[in-house]
Amino acid sequence: MTRVMQSETSILERYRKFLPLTEKTKIITLGEGFTPLVRARNLARALGREDLKIHLKLEGLNPTGSFKDRGMCMAITRAVEEGSRAVICASTGNTSASAAAFSAQAGLKCFVLLPAGNVAMGKLAQAILYGSTVIQINGNFDRALELVKEIGENYPVTIVNSINPYRLEGQKTGAFEIIESLGDAPDYLAIPVGNAGNITAYFRGFKLWHEEGKSTRIPKMCGFQAAGAAPMVLGRPVENPETIATAIRIGNPASWEFANSAIDESGGMIDAVTDEAILEAYKMVATLEGVFCEPASAASIAGLKKSIEAGRIAEDKTIACILTGNGLKDPKCALEACKQDLDPVEADLKSVIKAMGI
Ligand SMILES: *Cc1c(COP(=O)(O)O)cnc(C)c1O
């Protein structure tokens, strides 16, 4: 297995010729990308499919803890090049953390609109500490994005949601890295779907490198939404999306059409997974593989499990699961998902040995 060599500090430098950059472009970088792709043998065994080569792409190891950094470095780099002074985004949390961080380095003003009460604490803390102006609205993500579009049309601020085409351009680099790590594209890509930008970007990246002769195939793009926020599975927008996986709590995805074509063209699928299945997968990947991802990220594992159980995954195939964000952003979810007795015991040997259960 070849490893991504990190002589460059930015994915924009490494993949410059596949991105909308010129020799003159000054790159804004926090050292994003180059994330590990780790083999998940215990998980494959637990799923009863040791024949499968399951790999986890640890996107939570990006500088702000999610894959959003891949697209944000590109969007902010171009915003600066085009003379922008301020950016704005709607966010379920990770986009705002990423936008705020890159804006801080670039010296841009950053405004973020969040659905009040539905953003994990760690993400909110990031946006605030990086110095963005945080506006929480009494409305959901879809409403926040509508407002952002309106503001973008009427005020001199650059929108850095994934409707900004540079975001998806940067996010294609995840596909390039997977091909470099495996020496080819995988047979399947399992990925959570919220606003549907990432699945679109991965497909474009895989397609481009297939055309470049760098891989023998394009993976089947398998997208997974939370059952309470599954507009693409239902075929209609969901007005009040609900799920524990707040990063994919989206009822009307911006890249819906693009994502549909990615799924159709690649022979993939879109399916929904319940919150219960998401939490089960979240615990499985932690206890079996030592990987702490966000609940939304675990939708990819829950979806893979469901697809295996439905007999939809052929034998001996290679699968890449995108673990989109870092579990540390939402410690409350972990503590609630794993009920352990955390009451203190007396500080003596007998009590501790008893608590150890040995
Ligand atoms: C943004 C996000 C998603 C969803 O990605 P889309 O491009 O909106 O489909 C999934 N997981 C995490 C952790 C995210 O931050």
Check if the beta carbon of residue 43 is closer than 8 Å to that of residue 282: no
DSSP one-letter code for 348: S
Q: How far apart are the CA of 94 and the centre of ligand 1, in A?
A: 8
Q: What is the pLDDT of residue 9?
A: 82
Ligand 1, atom 14, residue with closest C-alpha: 247
pLDDT tens, 153-167? 999 999 999 999 999
Give the ligand 1 atom nearest the CA of 59: 13
Q: What is the pLDDT of residue 5?
A: 54
Nearest residue to 300 via CA among 317, 281, 286, 327: 281
Longest dimension (CA), the chain: 69
Give the ligand 1 atom nearest the CA of 196: 9
DSSP one-letter code for 64: T
Extended strands (E) in 95-219 = 109-115, 133-137, 158-159, 188-192
Q: What is the pLDDT of residue 338?
A: 85
Q: How far apart are the CA of 194 and the centre of ligand 1, in A?
A: 5
Q: How far apart are the CA of 198 and the centre of ligand 1, in A?
A: 7
Give the ligand 1 atom nearest the CA of 293: 13
Amino acid at 269: M
Candidate from 198, 294, 326 with most ligand 1 atoms within 8 A of CB, to mutate: 198
Ligand 1, atom 4, residue with closest C-alpha: 194
pTM: 0.96
**Pairwise CA distance, residues 247 & 324, whole Å:** 10
Q: What is the pLDDT of residue 340?
A: 85
- All residues at 6 or more sequence positions from 357 whose CB lies less than 8 Å from its CB, including other chains: none
Give the ligand 1 atom nearest the CA of 93: 15
Q: What is the pLDDT of residue 324?
A: 98
Name the stretches of the chain with pLDDT < 50: 1-3
Question: How does strand 37-39 pair with strand 53-58?
Answer: antiparallel
Bridge partners, 326 (sequence order)? 293
Q: How far apart are the CA of 63 and the centre of ligand 1, in A?
A: 16
pLDDT tens, 28-42? 999 999 999 999 999
From residue 23, alpha-carbon distances to 12, 120, 149, 263 in Å are 11, 39, 31, 34
Q: How far apart are the CA of 193 and the centre of ligand 1, in A?
A: 6
Pocket-forming residues, ligand 1, beta carbon under 6 Å: 66, 68, 94, 162, 192-198, 247-248, 294, 296-297, 324-325
Q: What is the pLDDT of residue 6?
A: 60
Q: How far apart are the CA of 322 and the centre of ligand 1, in A?
A: 10
Give the ligand 1 atom nearest the CA of 192: 10
Q: How far apart are the CA of 113 and the centre of ligand 1, in A?
A: 16
The full 3-state SS of 233-281, as one line of letters, equals HHCCCCCCCCCCCHHHCCCCCCCHHHHHHHHHHHCCEEEEECHHHHHHH
Angle at 281 between CA 70 and CA 264, to 5 degrees: 60
Residue bearing tokens 């599975």: 233
**Pairwise CA distance, residues 350 & 355, whole Å:** 9
Q: How far apart are the CA of 272 and the centre of ligand 1, in A?
A: 15
Q: What is the pLDDT of residue 204?
A: 98
